[in-house]
Structure 1
Amino acid sequence: MFPTFEKVRELARKKGLSLNQVEEKLGYSKNTLYSLKRQKVSSERLQQIADYFNVSTDYLLGRTDNPAIAGSDEFAQVNGQIIDLRKAAANAMLFDGKPLNEDDIDFITSVLSAHFKSKGER
């Protein structure tokens, strides 16, 4: 069995959708996703599925356990959970309680990304 089917099934479950519902949303015919159990997926279809779930194609192919888009420095996997570093930085506040500006958010995101990379959690 190809790992792509298992990944797609799990992603659909996390969204509260059946595979048939995902097929409908993607405009696929019935049982298209079930065919992933038996055959390799085309690169075009793989990219469509990855885009729909906002994950990397490498994740769908089982080449990485990190679903974040390859090359993205705005996500880290920590204790099995994907953390949106930019969102975490945006939720931080300055010492005086004011929200951060975009430059500060960019800086904190890059610091967090570097930290998690150095720990091997990217």
Structure 2
Amino acid sequence: MSVFSERLTEARKMMGWTRKRAVSEIGIPYQTYSNYEQGKREPDINTITMFANKLNTTTDFLTGMTDDPSPKNHSASDDTALTWADLGMPYGGKIPDELKQTYADLAESYFKRHPEMLNKNNK
């Protein structure tokens, strides 16, 4: 079995779906889906993206790029992540001096709880 086939099966089971329910929800033939789960076929990127959306996970999880199946924790590494300038937007792009320490404390607290994000952003 491939990483993809194992992850597809895992994501389906996390949804509490049988294969029959999965093909009904996803809208592909049973045999095609079964071949994906058994590792007999590999889907194209558009199909992987569709699976990720329908199974409430990410393409990174399905392809083995991450072990985290949850789509909610992946925005910090993409191009839409907030920057210091974004945090100052209500203040014309500049954080007032009296709030800089508050923002720094928030960032420090966040990275203490999520040290993996600190390492990811420093690469």
TM-score, normalising length: structure 1: 0.58
Give the gaps of 5 or more residues in structure 1. Answer: 74-107
Number of aligned pairs?
Answer: 88
Question: Partner of 1:20 in structure 2?
Answer: 20
**Alpha-carbon displacement from aligned partner over 1:6-31 (angstroms, at most 9, x marks no partner):** 11212222222111211111111112
Shift of residue 119, structure 1, vs aligned partner: 5.0
Give the gaps of 5 or more residues in structure 2. Answer: 77-105
Confirm or deny: 8 A CA contact 1:50 1:60 kept in the other structure: yes
Letter of the aligned partner of 2:75 in structure 1? S
Question: Partner of 2:95 in structure 1?
Answer: none
Confirm or deny: 8 A CA contact 1:20 1:31 kept in the other structure: no
Question: Partner of 2:115 in structure 1?
Answer: 118
TM-score, normalising length: structure 2: 0.57
Structure number with higher strand proportion: 1
Change (3 A) 1:68 1:14: closer
Q: Aligned to 2:60, which of 58, 61, 64?
A: 58
- Higher-Rg structure is 2
**Alpha-carbon displacement from aligned partner over 1:53-110 (angstroms, at most 9, x marks no partner):** 221111101121112337324xxxxxxxxxxxxxxxxxxxxxxxxxxxxxxxxxx799
Aligned-residue CA RMSD (Å): 3.0
Structure number with higher helix proportion: 2
